[in-house]
């Protein structure tokens, strides 16, 4: 099986667009969670989010195309362009049949769908844009990216709640390992800051209602945790075989060592409080990576800031790493910009790669009172640590558990 390298990073997030601006804000521990300003959300129990303010400023997409796509496709197009540039790939020189796209999201294009549904009830059938048919559905970004670059290889959109993008990356890794494609754009995108999507997130019951203090609202693993905060954005990476990346002299950001995913099989909303299946997913990923638990020197936490989720995640890590779970640095940087739901795993992976490159672990903010029997949390400020192998955890409703392990290229 071929080893797969990550050679280009494309990030579109509340903390920044492009990896330099993004990393500068992440390592500084700056919060980008604010009151929602895009629409009147004051009557929602939770009306705070990580929002992207200047998407158009970074856009290379024509006005004509923008009329036909939802914000989540727009974000995916920008993140793809950033990733390809970062990887030094000229897509015109690639065999289009051997390039794929593997993206994940949880909600689809609700901003477009909501607007058109409103118009249908107010103006009737003629009020609905014909682009609605191709704008809202979860695979729309995959389609738009493929059309934009003329990509024609085997591609997939994964919908697995918040684990969607890490699952997409895991699937992309497997596909490339078998030598089926030359290159894949992999990751995810999500645009949940819309009236209906925000309503659904609110009725789900997991959002923080600490609207008075947006930067302090998302506090995973803290005793005063009050739920998570949504965020919007996209994280897309260029994946290719290590052999091909080395041959073309690419800057190898990291190598994917192993991946595993499974289900709790228990409840449609809450996870297993003991994290039994999450522990099994991590162990399987370690076996897949031919790695030992003692090799892991950073854990990127899922950190939903809901008791049963954080407890289950902690229990799973303790089960796998034993006494070392008190020593391995662990953090949940999404506390700064919100949970990007289906795109969260891809963003966590990008942060982990940047942490590895800079030997600097970004903090979990707002973690003022961690459980003393918890993990070795990096909190408040970034902390210097060399990372050779890291574990990224991503989970979703319905008990979805995903674990990815990456390593520094030797």
Partner 1 sequence: METAEIQQKINDTIVKSLGVKPEELKPEGKLYDSLGVDSTEMVEVVIALSKAFDTQISAKEVTKLNSINEIVSIIRSKLS
Binding site for partner 1 (CB under 8 A): 62-68, 126, 129-131, 133-134
Least distance (Å) from partner 1 to the CB of residue 127? 9
Cβ proximity to partner 1, 68 vs 385, nearer residue: 68
Cβ proximity to partner 1, 106 vs 132, nearer residue: 132
Least distance (Å) from partner 1 to the CB of residue 103? 22
Cβ proximity to partner 1, 141 vs 399, nearer residue: 141
Cβ proximity to partner 1, 65 vs 276, nearer residue: 65
Alpha-carbon span 80 to 53, nearest angstrom: 19
Least distance (Å) from partner 1 to the CB of residue 63? 4
Least distance (Å) from partner 1 to the CB of residue 118? 17
Least distance (Å) from partner 1 to the CB of residue 307? 47
Least distance (Å) from partner 1 to the CB of residue 61? 11
Cβ proximity to partner 1, 147 vs 200, nearer residue: 147
Least distance (Å) from partner 1 to the CB of residue 381? 46
Least distance (Å) from partner 1 to the CB of residue 56? 14
Alpha-carbon span 100 to 332, nearest angstrom: 30
Least distance (Å) from partner 1 to the CB of residue 55? 17
Cβ proximity to partner 1, 63 vs 373, nearer residue: 63
Cβ proximity to partner 1, 127 vs 205, nearer residue: 127
Cβ proximity to partner 1, 20 vs 67, nearer residue: 67
Cβ proximity to partner 1, 135 vs 390, nearer residue: 135
Taking CB atoms within 8 Å and a gap of at least 24, the contacts of 293-297 are: 293/320, 293/321, 293/322, 293/324, 294/324, 295/388, 295/389, 296/321, 296/328, 296/389, 296/390, 296/391, 296/405, 297/328, 297/329, 297/385, 297/386, 297/387, 297/388, 297/389, 297/390
């Amino acid at each position: 099986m071929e080893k797969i390298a990550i050679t280009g990073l494309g990030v579109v997030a509340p903390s920044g667009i492009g990896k330099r601006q993004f990393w500068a804000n992440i390592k500084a521990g700056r919060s980008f969670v604010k009151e929602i300003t895009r629409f009147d959300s004051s009557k929602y129990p939770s009306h705070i989010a990580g929002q992207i303010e200047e998407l158009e400023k970074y856009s290379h997409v024509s006005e004509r195309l923008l009329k036909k796509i939802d914000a989540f496709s727009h974000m995916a197009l920008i993140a793809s362009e950033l990733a390809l540039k970062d990887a030094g790939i000229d897509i015109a020189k690639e065999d289009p049949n051997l390039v794929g796209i593997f993206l994940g999201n949880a909600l689809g294009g609700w901003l477009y769908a909501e607007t058109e549904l409103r118009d249908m009830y107010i103006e009737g059938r003629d009020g609905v844009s014909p682009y609605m048919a191709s704008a809202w559905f979860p695979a729309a970004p995959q389609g738009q990216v493929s059309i934009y670059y003329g990509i024609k290889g085997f591609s997939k959109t994964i919908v697995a709640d918040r684990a969607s993008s890490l699952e997409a990356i895991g699937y992309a890794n497997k596909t490339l390992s078998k030598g089926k494609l030359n290159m894949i754009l992999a990751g995810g995108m999500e645009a949940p800051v819309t009236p209906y999507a925000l309503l659904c997130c609110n009725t789900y019951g997991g959002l923080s209602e600490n609207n008075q203090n947006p930067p302090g609202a998302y506090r995973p693993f803290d005793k005063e945790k009050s739920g998570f905060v949504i965020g919007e954005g996209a994280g897309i990476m260029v994946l290719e075989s290590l052999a091909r990346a080395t041959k073309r002299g690419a800057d190898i950001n990291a190598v994917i060592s192993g991946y595993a995913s499974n289900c709790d099989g228990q409840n449609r909303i809450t996870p297993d409080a003991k994290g039994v299946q999450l522990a099994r997913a991590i162990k399987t990923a370690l076996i897949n990576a031919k790695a030992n638990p003692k090799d892991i020197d950073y854990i990127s936490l899922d950190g939903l800031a809901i008791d049963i989720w954080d407890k289950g995640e902690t229990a799973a890590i303790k089960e796998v790493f034993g006494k070392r779970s008190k020593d391995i640095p662990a953090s949940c940087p999404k506390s700064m910009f919100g949970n990007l739901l289906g795109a969260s795993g891809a963003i966590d992976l990008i942060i982990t790669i940047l942490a590895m490159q800079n030997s600097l672990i970004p903090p979990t903010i707002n973690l003022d009172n961690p459980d003393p029997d918890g993990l070795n949390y990096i909190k408040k400020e970034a902390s210097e640590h060399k990372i050779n192998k890291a574990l990224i955890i991503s989970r979703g409703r319905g008990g979805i558990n995903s674990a990815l392990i990456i390593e520094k290229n030797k």
